[in-house]
Amino acid sequence: MSTHAFVSPIRLGAVKSLEDFHAVCASLGIELPAEALDARPSPLAEPAAVVINGKRPSNRIVIHPMEGWDGTTTGGVTDEMRRRWRRFGESGAKMICGTEAMAVRPDGRANPNQLIITDENKADLAELVGILKSAHMEHYGSSDDLVIGFQLTHSGRFCRPHDKARWESRVAFRHPILDRKFNVTSDAQVLSDAEVEELVTDYVRAARIAWEVGADFVDLKHCHGYLLHEFLGAHTRPGKYGGSFENRTRVLREIVAGIRADGNPIDLGVRLSLFDMVPHRPDPDRAQPGKLGPGIPEDFSACLPYRYGFGVNQSNPTEIALTETHAFVTLCGELGIKVLNTTAGSPYYTPHIQRPAAFPPSDGYQPSYDPLVDVARQIHAVREVKARAPQGLYVIGSGYTYLQEFLPVVATAVVRQGWADAIGLGRAVLSYPTQLTDAMTGKPAEKKFICRTFSDCTTAPRNGLISGCYPLDKFYTQRPEFAQLKEIKKKLGA
């Protein structure tokens, strides 16, 4: 049994200067670029090096897709969604890279309240686009330089389309560790090749709807363990969608070909988990009363070589491997994909590498080391990918929210040094939509809105509640769900 104490992450809110921040990074053995926001023009204010649907985003700030588990049960729009999209528009970001995950068909939803991109919901989706654009115009005078993408998805292993507590998982292949966790008990849950072909037509139809309701591009989601990401790791799947790299990327190629054969001129993006690791879990031996244990890898000794993931070292799946990632990014360029929104791992089985946090979500684990290490891992992986990416592919960085006060200085340095073309905001947009815009325009930061990564936005939906920033956004603080959430967290030790 390990006797290691819990790690208490360094409180970035208490780090006073850039020099101290660099010292913190050095003490953790990581390198993070950061530069003072001085009189020099901000690289974040540079127009993007990409034109999408005839528009060039006029800054390098991006909003990541952020779903709220708060739609109607027929995949339509609610006031909470309207508010979230309005705030996306108010953020000042000139690219809205996905808005939120939208299921291409009802049984592909991750929860019964996810948006569904169907003909029935077209008017609702068009309304959301209108809200986002007019909020942006009101604040920034024009939306001619604002680019909006819709993220299209099938939730695969994480489908819960009818009941928030019941998995109805459909998978690309049987997984020796994840099957247990997500109730995959039968080969019948593996999608057949014919079902995949049908799914391709769902994506093509969804892309057509996206175009018709005013989206500038679609983000073909290949991340976070959802279905198309899982296909990238389908080494053990027989047939034309598994085994070789060519087969594992066939779904993407068929979707792109289908969209073009449909005569749909919409631009294309991909959100990709650049790397992954074997699933992690809380260490039961180090759990403390009322507290989850720190994260440790699941026992993978019986699963070697680890042929169940993408961007992971097959001999040691606690390590990342980018060889196939580079090949996939090259393929994206060949297919005419213009936007690559990077991310990592999965919030369901490796949340620490995906959304570094000081406080874990209720289905997660305490940090085993300082979460800044995970921030740095993503930033360096993006740097490597960007350095080899095809000319013209617009590469967006992720996982910056944990940086808190230091988000703007790191984002600025990363873009100035060309490690990424643009920086996306995820959790930060829920509490402080203009955090990066304020920094870019020289406005002092509103400290009280800086996200402290309490993970309530994840713990709430994991327990059947709508998502939102409960601690910092009054709209949620005042809701009865906040009291419920506090009770849930106490019980679960999150």
Rounded least distance, CB 182 to ligand FMN, Å: 18
Cβ closer to ligand FMN: 286 or 352? 352
Task: Determine the interface stretch with ligand FMN among 61-69, 120-128, 255-263, 318-326 (rule: CB under 6 A).
Answer: 61-69
- Which pairing describes strands 295-297 and 95-103: parallel, antiparallel, or unpaired? unpaired
Number of amino acids touching ligand FMN (CB under 6 A) = 25
Member of 52, 428, 450, 466 binding ligand FMN (CB under 6 A): 428
Work out whether 355 is an interface residue with ligand FMN (CB under 6 A).
yes
Work out whether 398 is an interface residue with ligand FMN (CB under 6 A).
yes
Work out whether 420 is an interface residue with ligand FMN (CB under 6 A).
no
| Cβ partners under 8 Å of residue 43, min gap 6 | 60, 412, 415, 416
| Cβ partners under 8 Å of residue 157, min gap 6 | 169, 170, 171, 175, 178, 182, 184, 225, 226, 227, 230, 348
Rounded least distance, CB 163 to ligand FMN, Å: 20
The contact pattern for ligand FMN, residues 63-82, with x = CB under 6 A and - = no contact, is: -xxxx---------------
State the SS3 of 315-384: CCCCCECCHHHHHHHHHHHHCCCCEEEEECCCCCCCHHHHCCCCCCCCCCCECCCCCHHHHHHHHHHHHH
Cβ closer to ligand FMN: 229 or 237? 229
Cβ closer to ligand FMN: 242 or 424? 424
Work out whether 151 is an interface residue with ligand FMN (CB under 6 A).
yes
Site residues (CB under 6 A) for ligand FMN, limited to 259-298: 271
Residue 147: strand, helix, or coil: strand
Return the DSSP state at 16: -
The contact pattern for ligand FMN, residues 185-214, with x = CB under 6 A and - = no contact, is: ------------------------------
Q: Which residue is nearest to ligand FMN (CB)?
A: 426
Extract the tokens encoding 69: 């588990």
Work out whether 159 is an interface residue with ligand FMN (CB under 6 A).
no
Residue type, 121: N
Work out whether 401 is an interface residue with ligand FMN (CB under 6 A).
yes
* Strand ranges, E, within 120-170: 147-153
Angstrom distance (rounded) from CA 109 to CA 125: 16
How deeply is 69 buried, as exposed, middle or buried, from its count of CB atoms within 10 A (0-12, 13-18, 19+)?
buried
Give rounded-to-5 percent helix, strand, coil for the chain: 40, 15, 45
Work out whether 136 is an interface residue with ligand FMN (CB under 6 A).
no
Cβ closer to ligand FMN: 136 or 427? 427
Rounded least distance, CB 24 to ligand FMN, Å: 18
Cross-strand pairs, 281: 296
Work out whether 61 is an interface residue with ligand FMN (CB under 6 A).
no
Q: How large is the angle between the packed helices 407-416 and 372-388, nearest 10 degrees? A: 20
Work out whether 223 is an interface residue with ligand FMN (CB under 6 A).
yes
Member of 400, 406, 454, 470 binding ligand FMN (CB under 6 A): 400
Work out whether 143 is an interface residue with ligand FMN (CB under 6 A).
no
Site residues (CB under 6 A) for ligand FMN, limited to 78-107: 98, 100-101
Rounded least distance, CB 99 to ligand FMN, Å: 8
Task: Determine the interface stretch with ligand FMN among 62-70, 180-188, 384-392, 436-444 (rule: CB under 6 A).
Answer: 62-70
Q: What is the DSSP string of 248-306?
A: HTHHHHHHHHHHHHTT---EEEEEEE----S-EEE-GGG-BTTBPPBEEE---GGG-S-
Work out whether 118 is an interface residue with ligand FMN (CB under 6 A).
no
> Alpha helices of 154-249 — where are they, by DSSP H?
178-181, 193-212, 227-232, 245-248
Rounded least distance, CB 417 to ligand FMN, Å: 20
Rounded least distance, CB 378 to ligand FMN, Å: 8
Angstrom distance (rounded) from CA 127 to CA 131: 6
Placement of tokens 């001999």 in the chain: 315
Contact 50, 36 (CB under 8 A): no
Member of 91, 113, 458, 463 binding ligand FMN (CB under 6 A): 458
Member of 58, 264, 273, 343 binding ligand FMN (CB under 6 A): 343
Member of 409, 425, 436, 440 binding ligand FMN (CB under 6 A): 425
Hey, how many other C-beta atoms are within 10 angstroms of the C-beta on 491? 11
Residues that bind ligand FMN (CB under 6 A): 64-67, 98, 100-101, 151, 221, 223, 271, 343, 355, 398-402, 425-428, 457-458, 467
